[in-house]
Amino acid sequence: MEEKHLHHGHRQRMKERFAASSPDSFADHELLEMLLYYALPRRDTNELAHSLIEEMGSLTHVLEGEAHRLVGVPGVSDGTALYLNLLGEVAKRYTISKFDPVDKSPVFDTPGKIAAFLAPRFLGLTVERAYLLLFDNGMHLLDCFHVGDGSISRVGLSLRRIAERALAKNAAAAVLAHNHPGGLAIPSADDRAFTHQLAEAMSLLELPLLEHFVFSDHDYATIMNYDDPSVVARQASSSLFDVLRRQLREGKGEKGATYERAKQSQRK
């Protein structure tokens, strides 16, 4: 009874405080405590919120946590773990939607802009995933295609599949991206070999592969012309990207030749 009296009205006071003040004033465990109100309507969730963050390491890791780890925390049921996973997925999709073109058509004219668009799609993934981006001559995004999951060399990225997708979208250029979950954003030898083979094949379609991004949990790198591991890949790729972008705008019917000229310009 004493404990019940101590916490009587606590939830209502927390809700009123949230409504009346800036959400930034709340600590992570307080936000998690309030979220858990809706999964656990009849227990004190403050202690549980502390336990979850202590066990998982952060609020982000709680929302991205695998169900079997979450239920290992005393007080977390299968239903609560599912609730937290759903919150994490909603938060992830919200982040993605903030970067998606809705009412306007942004120009993806730098590697940084493309990386900012792609990064949320790899948040919290524990598997390798590949995306293909297709652009028009003005570098407006036409399509963001989830190619598949698994090793990039085995993900089923067939030239025919790319060609069919590109023709359907009337694409002028493409960008590939995949992730190294739990690893580093360092292109492997297989990544680089696959990228150059794919670029050569795509040039036959007159569809230049502008770049291939590799993402880790906290960073990214680029692969095109990544011949010297001591060179920062994203810097090495910028001039090639800029040349391709400029020449794509100049010559709509010369996509294949553009790719070759851009490579030659980069070598110089």
Write the CB contacts of 179 (distance below 8 Å, at least 6 apart in sequence): 122, 125, 128, 129, 214, 215, 216
Where residue 93 falls among pLDDT bands split at 50, 70, 90?
A: confident
Query: What pLDDT score does 40 carry?
Result: 92
Q: Are 213 and 177 in contact (CB under 8 A)?
A: yes
Query: What pLDDT score does 97 carry?
Result: 75
Read off the tokens for 166: 């590109």
Where residue 260 falls among pLDDT bands split at 50, 70, 90?
A: very low
* Other beta carbons less than 10 A from residue 16's beta carbon: 11
Q: Give the pLDDT confidence of 186-195 residue by residue, as tens digits.
A: 888 888 888 8
* Overall average pLDDT of the 82-103 stretch: 81
Query: What pLDDT score does 44 carry?
Result: 86
Provide the b/e sequence for 127-140 (b: ≥16 CB within 10 Å): ebbbbbbbbbbebe
* Overall average pLDDT of the 48-67 stretch: 94
Look up residue 41 and give its DSSP letter.
Answer: T
Virtual torsion, Cα 80, 84, 85, 87, nearest 10 deg: 140
The side-by-side arrangement of strands in the sheet containing 141-149 is 141-149, 129-135, 173-179, 209-215, 220-222
Query: What pLDDT score does 54 carry?
Result: 95
Look up residue 124 and give its DSSP letter.
Answer: T
